[in-house]
Every structure is written in C-alpha cells, then in structure tokens.
C-alpha cells in the first residue's frame, strides 16, 4: 500500500466515513496566507520544484541545517537542482517530523507520485515534476481549480498600492483574492531605518501629507478605506505579545514626532505608542465589520549572527515564553469598553497557553455574533497533527467547537493547499475517534454536519467575504 492512501491518518471506520462523506469534497477558503499577489495576477508558471516548493520555505531550511546541510543549499547560491537534491537527501531523516507527511502528501496530490522521496529517486522526480509544471494545470490558476480554492486572502502592508489585487480582479482568476491589512510597519518607530522610508511610501500611496500625527492617522484610515474597497475584510498583526500599556493621543503624537525626526524611541515609549495604535486599528476594524487576527507568541530572529547575515524569516525563530494573559485581557477589555471590539481570531504559538487563549475568547463573546472571538487553528510550529489536536481539544473543552472557522495555510507556497486536507483528516480522526469510544453520539448527520461546517461554511459565514 502507498504511504499516502485513501485512509491516511484515519484510524477508525467512523473517522473514515466522516472524512470521505463530509470533509474531502469541501472547497477551500484560505483566509490567511502569504502568497504573492504578483504571482497570482500573472498566473505564474513554475519552472521546477525549487520554485514552487523550496523557494522561501523556512521549514525545509531548518530541517536541512539540522541534517548538516550548509547554507548555500538553503538560502545561498547553489543551483535550484542542487538545493532540491540537498532537501531530497534530508527527507528520510525527517521521519516523525511533519515535513515527512507534508512532503509526500504534496507530491501525491500535485504530481501523483507515490514514491518516498530520497537521494536515489530525486533526479527522476525532478524530471517528472518539471515536465508537469510546464502544463497549465499546475500554473497558479490551474492549482486553484485543482484544489477547489474559492478564495485566498494575502497579507499586505498599508503602503501597498494594491495594484496587483486590482489586476487580479480584472483577470480570469478562478478564485477570489483579497488583501489583508497588516499594519506592522506603523509600529516600527524604534527603527528609523525602516520606519522613515516606509513613511515616505505611505505618503506616496495615500496622497496625504504627513506632517503631524493627525495626518499620519488620516493616511492610515485612507489606506484602510482603500483596502475595504478592494474587498478586504480582515486585518492581521504579528506581535510577541499583546500591547496594553495605553496612553492618550497627545502622548502618542509626541512619541511619533520624535520618531519622525529620527530621534531615539525608548522601549517604554514604543510600548505606549504601539498600544495606542492597536486601539486605533481596532476601532477601524470594528467600524467596518472586519475580523482582526492576532498572531501572538513568536520569538523571532533568535540567532543574531544569522539574522545579520541573512535577514528575517530565514528559519531562526522559535516559540516564545512571554506572559500573554494580562495584556491580552486588557487589550480586549479596552476595546470592549469603547464599544469597538471587532470580530477576532486569536492565534497562540505557545501550547502551554492554549487554555488561556480558549478561555479568554469566551470572556468577550457578545451574544449576537456566533463565535465572535475565535481561538484560531494551530499556527506555525503548531500546525501539525499533535498540536492541531491540542488546539481543538482546548477549544472544545472551553468553547463551541461547532463554531470553529477551521484551517488556513499561513504559507508563501502554492504547494501548501494539501494542508487543508491534512487538517481535515486530523479533524475527522479526532472526532471519529470520539464517536468510536462513545464520547459523541453515533449520529452521522449531527456530527458530520459539524465537520462539514468547520471545513468551509463556518469561515465563509463568519468572514463575510464575497465568494
């Protein structure tokens, strides 16, 4: 039997029935990704497996480095085939790492390859996949059709002019593609080498002079409006922990003015200014009925020498151990008291905080919007079988699992759509196992209906995207 078979990960007959009847054929709404809008607009054709599979994949780089592969074959100047061969040599050593599952699921679903990737068959697989990638079926739009992708939300800076999204909207792309408002750069006032050039970009795209803090907020509101006009209904923030050291607008304006002149911003000033801005962004989202996403708990660029040589997002990040509860509670409470709490998805990266996040979400349900505050699916280091189960169990025990909006790829790769299948198999195995043990009723319509909604309809109805 092939490693990836019809009942992969499905350990009971109940799980198998749930998956094949209620989950397998549901379409995909990938509401958080880092896919490049340019590649979608141009319906990119990928030359080889490196371009579609290894390019920018820090999961693979981490495994390769751990296997003794030197940097030229990860992020360096080795040829695409040399990098692929280095990864192929690494794959047999990834047993019990989620990469082993993902690698073979992706080879199966995109190329029909049942072989286990290794050094001996790497060249043959490279040649076969290169030929298949030359077909229209595996260009970007063909991939969307192949995997029934109804909508994709990208991740975009407020200073992005959204021209690629405008091009997509006018094209024949079979999926809806919407931007997501990601205002990380407005919080970078402590890094003048980043903040000041970005401020110039914001001025150019908004057409709004930025001589004061009021001008700055006006320009950000203008961009928020432009994103909304382009179909955006979600924002996103990547933070180590929530920001809740609030100050008044007058103090935030003084700190901004110092940063605008290139002055040094202290850590305390950064916290107070950023906390003010997070309330501002929350109000914008609430006014328009958007969903705000908070990705909390990462410790980024831990290896400082690697960061200096290679830059960010190269695979030198880890789970953080910062205390999350007090600040998260204060932030949610401040927005609630101001009647400005938008729908939210809270993503946690430290599994020890799963129950904290699950119970915190329950504190701010409003009795009007079902599942208004979501405990989001397993993120980054936690988007694998065991940690997905942890997240789903915490949500089930502390909230309404039936209202869960399910999985996303959080990926820069067009090879990642089988992550939805992987999640659905884990979901059905977990729920089907409960049915087999008598922990849930053996009522396929009841339980299967919940599974089906988690796969697609809950996210569709919650996010209010035009599909």
CB 456 within 8 A of CB 29: yes
Question: What are the pLDDT digits (tens) for 402-422?
Answer: 999 999 999 999 999 999 999
Indicate if the pLDDT at residue 318 is higher than 90: yes
Q: Write the CB contacts of 215 (distance below 8 Å, at least 6 apart in sequence).
A: 208, 209
Which distant-in-sequence residues (6+ apart) come within 8 Å of 356 by Cβ? 324, 325, 328, 348
364 and 338 in a common domain: yes
What phi and psi values does residue 299 have, to the nearest 5 degrees? -115, 105
- Position 251 in a domain: yes
pLDDT band for 291, please (50, 70, 90 cuts): very high
Domain range enclosing 357: 13-45+138-463
**Window from 34-48, 103-117, 245-259, 301-315 with minimum mean pLDDT:** 301-315
Domain assignment of residue 7, yes or no: no
Q: Are both 365 and 247 inside the same structural domain?
A: yes
Q: What is the pLDDT of residue 290?
A: 98
Residue 297 has pLDDT above 90, yes or no: yes
Same domain, 63 and 20: no
One domain for residues 391 and 402: yes
Q: Tell me how far the alpha carbon of residue 272 is from its chain's centroid.
A: 27
Indicate if 369 and 261 belong to the same structural domain: yes
Q: Is-contact 291 343, C-beta < 8 A? A: yes
Whether 33 and 119 map to the same domain: the answer is no
Q: How many domains does the chain have?
A: 2
Which residues does residue 180 pair with via DSSP β-bridges, in sequence order?
A: none
User: CA 359 to CA 27: how far, in whole Å?
Assistant: 30
The two three-digit tokens of residue 324, written as one number: 């999350």
Domain match, 243 and 128 both: no
Q: Are residues 439 and 365 in the same domain?
A: yes
The residues, any chain, with a CB within 8 Å of residue 311's CB and separated by 6 or more, are none
Per-residue model confidence as pLDDT tens digits over 31-87? 999 999 999 999 999 999 999 999 989 999 999 999 999 999 999 999 999 999 999
* 413 vs 409: CA distance, rounded Å: 9
**Pairing status of strand 291-296 against strand 298-299:** unpaired
Residue 243 in tokens = 């920001």
Helices (H), 289-318: 304-310
Three-class HEC string of 313-359? CCCCCEECCCCCHHHHHHHHHHHHHCCCCCEEEEEECCHHHHHHHHH
Of 321, 301, 318, 376, nearest to 345 (Cα)?
A: 376
Which CATH number fits the domain that encloses residue 278? 3.20.20.140
Mean pLDDT of 28-32: 98
* Contact assessment for residue 454 and residue 427, using Cβ atoms and an 8 Å cutoff: yes
Q: What is the mean pLDDT of residues 327-341?
A: 97
For the chain, the average pLDDT equals 97
Q: Is the pLDDT of residue 208 over 90?
A: no
The pLDDT of residue 169: 97
Residue 19 shares a structural domain with residue 105: no
The mean pLDDT value for 447-458 works out to 98
Query: Which pLDDT tens digit goes with each residue over 347-382?
Result: 999 999 999 999 999 999 999 999 999 999 999 999
pLDDT in tens, 226-270: 999 999 999 999 999 999 999 999 999 999 999 999 999 999 999
Burial class (CB in 10 A: 0-12, 13-18, 19+), 442: exposed
pLDDT given at position 1: 84
Domain co-membership, 289 together with 344:
yes
pLDDT at 185 over 90: yes
Q: Decide if pLDDT at 154 tops 90.
A: yes
């Amino acid at each position: 039997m092939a490693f990836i078979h019809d009942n992969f990960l499905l350990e009971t007959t109940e799980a198998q029935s749930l998956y094949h009847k209620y989950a397998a054929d549901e379409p995909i709404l990938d509401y958080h990704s880092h896919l490049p809008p340019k590649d979608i607009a141009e319906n990119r054709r990928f030359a080889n497996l490196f371009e579609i599979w290894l390019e920018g994949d820090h999961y693979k780089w981490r495994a390769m480095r751990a296997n003794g592969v030197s940097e030229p074959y990860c992020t360096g100047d080795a040829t695409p085939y040399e990098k692929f061969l280095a990864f192929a040599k690494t794959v047999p050593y990834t047993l019990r790492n989620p990469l082993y599952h993902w690698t073979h699921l992706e080879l199966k679903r995109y190329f029909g390859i049942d072989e286990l990737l290794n050094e001996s068959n790497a060249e043959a697989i490279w040649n076969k996949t290169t030929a298949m990638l030359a077909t229209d079926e595996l260009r970007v739009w063909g991939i969307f059709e192949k995997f029934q992708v109804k909508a994709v939300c990208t991740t975009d800076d407020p200073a992005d002019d959204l021209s690629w999204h405008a091009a997509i909207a006018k094209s024949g792309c079979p999926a809806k593609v919407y931007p997501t408002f990601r205002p990380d750069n407005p919080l970078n006032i402590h890094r003048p080498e980043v903040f000041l050039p970005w401020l110039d970009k914001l001025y150019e795209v908004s057409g709004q002079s930025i001589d004061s803090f009021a001008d700055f907020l006006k320009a950000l509101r203008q961009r928020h409006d432009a994103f909304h006009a382009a179909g955006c209904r979600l924002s996103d923030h990547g933070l180590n922990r929530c920001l809740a050291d609030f100050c008044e607008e007058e103090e935030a304006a003084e700190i901004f003015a110092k940063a605008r002149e290139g002055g040094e911003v202290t850590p305390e000033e950064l916290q107070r200014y950023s906390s003010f801005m997070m309330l501002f962004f929350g109000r914008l989202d609430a006014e328009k009925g958007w969903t705000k996403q908070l990705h909390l708990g990462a410790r980024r660029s831990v290896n400082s020498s690697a960061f200096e040589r290679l830059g960010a997002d190269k695979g030198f990040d880890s789970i953080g151990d910062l205390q999350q509860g007090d600040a998260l509670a204060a932030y949610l409470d401040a927005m609630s008291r101001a009647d400005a709490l938008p729908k939210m998805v809270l993503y946690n990266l430290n599994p020890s905080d799963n129950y904290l996040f699950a119970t915190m979400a329950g504190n701010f349900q409003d009795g009007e919007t079902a599942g208004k505050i979501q405990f989001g699916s397993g993120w980054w280091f936690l988007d694998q079988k065991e940690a997905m189960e942890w997240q789903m169990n915490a949500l089930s025990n502390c909230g309404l699992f039936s209202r869960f909006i399910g999985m996303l790829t959080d990926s820069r790769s067009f090879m990642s759509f089988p992550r939805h299948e992987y999640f659905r198999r884990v979901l059905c195995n977990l729920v089907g196992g409960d049915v087999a043990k008598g922990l849930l009723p053996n009522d396929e319509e009841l339980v299967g209906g919940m599974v089906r909604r988690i796969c697609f309809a809950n996210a569709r109805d919650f996010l209010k995207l035009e599909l």
